[in-house]
Amino acid sequence: MLNGRTVLITGASSGIGAAAARLFAEEGAAVVLMARRADALAEVAAPLVEAGARVAVAPGDVTRPADVERAVALAVDTFGSLDAAFNNAGWGTGGTVLHELDEGVYDRVMDLNVRGVWNCLRHQIPAMLKAGTGGAIVNTSSTAGIVATGAVAPYVAAKHAVLGLTKAAAMEYGESGIRVNALVVGSTRTELMDELLQDVPELEASFTARAIQKRMAHPREVAQAAAWLCSDRSSFLTGASMPVDGGWS
């Protein structure tokens, strides 16, 4: 499905991003993996390289424009193009009502989830425009991006903003053949989820109860949706918010 494509994946050192790295490589893509922890990225990359995949690692922070610019340049210099991107790095925390929130937490959540996606878009899109062959970009939002749940206000605001950026970018670059879509991800068993459940354990029951499938997603199930959106199989889809939530919404 992704044969011959070069895809940049952010947040590739764990969870959904690491699952995407494995799946995209299996599907024939050259993958550029970005996250802050170089050692964790190397662990994800090693078996892929061993299996014959084309992999480059770009340790860096998506909140820093220069790091994202370097990752995009690495894709183009190493594999000849940037055809698709999965802007997936994100983080949130819960358990504190809005008026008691620490300002540092607010800043961190907004900076990573919103500025991080914007940084990615503003460096990936020029590379795609320059190549003139279009592109596919997938941003990771959340069910929190369409419905507010309690005590996670900055995350709710940030993931709503991801959908806004997705729609705006889809509109601005549609005629250039660049498609921009978002995943509305439901509860998924990853490090982020483990961290959240440590803070607010009672959330687990409510997350699984609301999903029609009565379970959380496996990271690979989310990666499968991202792969489809990065491929030509979704060629007439742009500006969309695609739920991968087991029927939660």
Active-site residue list: 155
Written as six digits, the tokens of 39 are: 């050692």
- Among the residue ranges 12-20, 95-103, 127-135, 169-177, the one whose residues contact ligand NDP (CB under 6 A): 12-20
Among 6, 14, 93, 238, binds ligand NDP (CB under 6 A): 14
Per CB under 6 A, does 166 bind ligand NDP?
Answer: no
Per CB under 6 A, does 37 bind ligand NDP?
Answer: yes
Q: Which of 117, 133, 89 is nearest to 181 (CA)?
A: 117
Among 10, 124, 181, 238, binds ligand NDP (CB under 6 A): 10
Return d(Cα 180, Cα 134) in angstroms, integer. Answer: 11
CB 85 within 8 A of CB 124: yes
Instruction: Kindly provide the residue ranges of all beta strands, DSSP E only, lying in the chain, ordered along the sequence.
Output: 6-10, 30-35, 55-59, 84-87, 135-142, 178-185, 241-244
Per CB under 6 A, does 16 bind ligand NDP?
Answer: yes
Backbone φ, ψ for residue 240 (5° rounding): -90, 150
Residues touching ligand NDP: how many (CB under 6 A)?
A: 30
Among 15, 94, 243, 246, binds ligand NDP (CB under 6 A): 15
Per CB under 6 A, does 119 bind ligand NDP?
Answer: no
Written as six digits, the tokens of 195 are: 């961290």
Return d(Cα 17, Cα 102) in angstroms, integer. Answer: 28
Per CB under 6 A, does 197 bind ligand NDP?
Answer: no
Per CB under 6 A, does 192 bind ligand NDP?
Answer: yes
Q: Which of 4, 2, 38 is nearest to 20 (CA)?
A: 2
CB 48 within 8 A of CB 26: no
- Among the residue ranges 119-127, 165-173, 191-199, 234-242, the one whose residues contact ligand NDP (CB under 6 A): 191-199
> How near is the Cβ of 191 to ligand NDP at its closest, in Å?
4
> How near is the Cβ of 41 to ligand NDP at its closest, in Å?
7
- Three-state SS annotation for 116-133: HHHHHHHHHHHHHHHHCC
Per CB under 6 A, does 62 bind ligand NDP?
Answer: yes
Q: Indicate the residue among 142 and 166 with the shorter CB distance to ligand NDP.
A: 142
Per CB under 6 A, does 200 bind ligand NDP?
Answer: no
Rule CB under 6 A: which residues touch ligand NDP? Answer: 10-17, 35-37, 40, 61-63, 88-92, 112, 140, 142, 185, 187-188, 190-193
